[in-house]
Amino acid sequence: MTDPGNSRDRHPRSGATDHHGDPVRPAHQGPADSLFGPDSQFYRFFNDPRWALALVRATVLEAAHPQVGAALIDNSTFVAHPWRRLRNTLVSLQRMFGEDDYTRQREAARLNRLHARLSGTDTQNRPYDAMDPEVRAWVVATIFESSVTMCRLSGQPLDQATMERLYAEFQAFLAAFGSGAGQLPSTLPKFWQYYDHMVEEELENTEALRIILYKLFDHLPAPPLLDGLPTVWAAGRALAGPVIGTITVASLPEPFRRRAGLPEIPGAQTLMQGAYLTAGLARFLPENWIRTESLTNLLYLSPDRDDPQAATLAALHGRMKRAGAFLRLVTPFPTQRGPAGGAAPQRSAGEFFTAVLDQTGDGYLDWPDLAAMARELSSRLDLDEPEETRLYKAYAEWWRELQEALDADGDGRISKEEYAAAVPSLAGPALIRVAEVLFDATDADGNEFIDADEYRALFRTGFGRTVPGTDARYSRGAFIKDFLSFMSGRHPSTPFDPLLTDA
């Protein structure tokens, strides 16, 4: 039997075409634009439950590339904030594959700016650069190949014409980033040769890969929907985590599994096949039940949101809390504290360090953590140049201030102990500039006040809360004061906590 993960002798060979997007909103969309939008093969996959398994598999194959793995370890928030990373990825893919060419080119420009800021060296002193054309091509290749594989593993292999169409779409996706983004091989036969070479010669058992397979699923934080129900989440995670890891390993190409020394668990292939087949049956469910956007929004729903669904969710939370109380009686999971209600409690310096400052989850505060904050805020505010660069520069100045004040041993990073020992107010001139940049970006009409609509745009991950006060306006001074109060770490903040601390 041919191994499910081996690409040899299992992919129809065919050709494909390239497509280049126009950076300005076009007055007329030509035939090539049909590669994107709701009629594309990608859009059908986007709402396919099997694609969740395919995305996990693609992420592992990405992380096995030495440059991608190093960039993830040094810069990514995928360990501390995996749900946020997932949501951002899905939003970005929707923009890139949508039918509006202007939105696609704007998103491509944003991603190019983001990747241009990610470079460095790995633990073996090898350079990595997120703008390397070969690296970017590999990332796109993993999504395409994993999409093809998910269909085959679920008993619905793609026919020749559909595979050609899908490959053309992914070629167009990569081309939308511009000529410096690299390109996929021109034909499918050449693609499978390229893919086999990468799997057999270039991929490694990287630290990022090991974290995804053996740490991330075992320690996955609860999504906002289940925040405050730690026992319920821990019980489900204890079962699902190892299963997802086992399924993912079993679906990887056999040559890579062997070379990387990944474990061969008895029954894993059967479990993997069953998971894909079961996920494939979900296509018979009503379409509105399995829409990716709806499911993602549900994960981020909160019972205290100003939303018609909030009452239903609050009732659901009540039932789940009762289930959690029962589980605590019959399981060995330790009691964990959820978010406190009522008046805002004091928050220790260590808690603030872990929840807010350490965005990458490595136990230290350094530039990648503050860059992650700038990246998240730029994305949420949908900033263009030069506002995005202004925000990054403000965070860079704040990082220099923090280093001078807190880096006692001069190792270029700040430990939790160094931070807690100093317990600074963190309200220096650089942090004030960060607050001013955020205010200016939010004050869309430039009237020196943030109105209710502008406020909701800034804190849309803060669950749609309205501006406090009778005049429904937020002055520059009040905004800066509240932001500095939050960043001082003294008290949790209703609007800012969800923006930077959600999982």
pLDDT tens profile 91-137: 899 899 998 999 999 999 999 999 999 999 999 999 999 999 999 99
Give the pLDDT mean for 188-215.
95
- Residue 180: what pLDDT? 84
- Residue 203: what pLDDT? 97
> Using an 8 Å Cβ cutoff, are 377 and 440 in contact?
no
Peptide bond into 26 cis (omega under 30): no
Pairing between strand 119-121 and 364-365?
Answer: unpaired
- Residue 299: what pLDDT? 60
Whether 463 has a pLDDT exceeding 60, the answer reads: no
Considering the segment(s) 349-501 as one domain, its CATH architecture is Orthogonal Bundle (1.10)
In the chain, domain spans? 32-207+253-280, 349-501
Residue with token string 């709701």: 38
Position with higher pLDDT, 166 vs 12: 166
Whether 288 has a pLDDT exceeding 50, the answer reads: yes
- Residue 6: what pLDDT? 40
Report the distance separating Cα 456 and Cα 499, nearest Å.
12
pLDDT winner (highest mean) among 26-35, 51-60, 403-412, 422-431? 51-60
Report the distance separating Cα 503 and Cα 23, nearest Å.
33
Q: Phi-psi category of 19—alpha, beta or left, where left has phi over 0 and alpha has psi -120 to 50?
A: beta
Report the distance separating Cα 150 and Cα 326, nearest Å.
38
Position with higher pLDDT, 321 vs 257: 257
Q: What pLDDT band is residue 316 in, cutting at 50, 70 and 90?
A: low
The helix, strand and coil proportions of the chain, stated in percent and rounded to the nearest 5, come to 60, 5, 35
- Residue 460: what pLDDT? 54
Residue with token string 């317990």: 423
Whether 174 has a pLDDT exceeding 80, the answer reads: yes
- Residue 492: what pLDDT? 63
Report the distance separating Cα 374 and Cα 47, nearest Å.
30
- Residue 250: what pLDDT? 95
Please give the structure tokens belonging to residue 232: 């319920």
Give the pLDDT mean for 417-443.
81
Q: What is the DSSP string of 46-61?
A: HT-THHHHHHHHHHHH
In 3D, which of 455, 401, 458, 454 has the Cα closest to residue 426? 401
Least confident of 98-112, 117-131, 201-215, 273-287: 273-287
Report the distance separating Cα 381 and Cα 383, nearest Å.
5
Whether 433 has a pLDDT exceeding 80, the answer reads: yes
> Using an 8 Å Cβ cutoff, are 265 and 246 in contact?
yes
Q: What is the DSSP string of 297-309?
A: HHHT--TTSSSTT
Q: What is the DSSP string of 114-154?
A: HHHT-EEE-TTS-EEETT-HHHHHHHHHHHHHHHHHHHHHT
Contact partners, residue 245, CB within 8 Å, separation at least 6: 213, 214, 217, 218
Contact partners, residue 284, CB within 8 Å, separation at least 6: none
Question: Which amino acid would we find at residue 304?
Answer: D
Position with higher pLDDT, 305 vs 340: 305
Percent of the chain with pLDDT over 90: 38
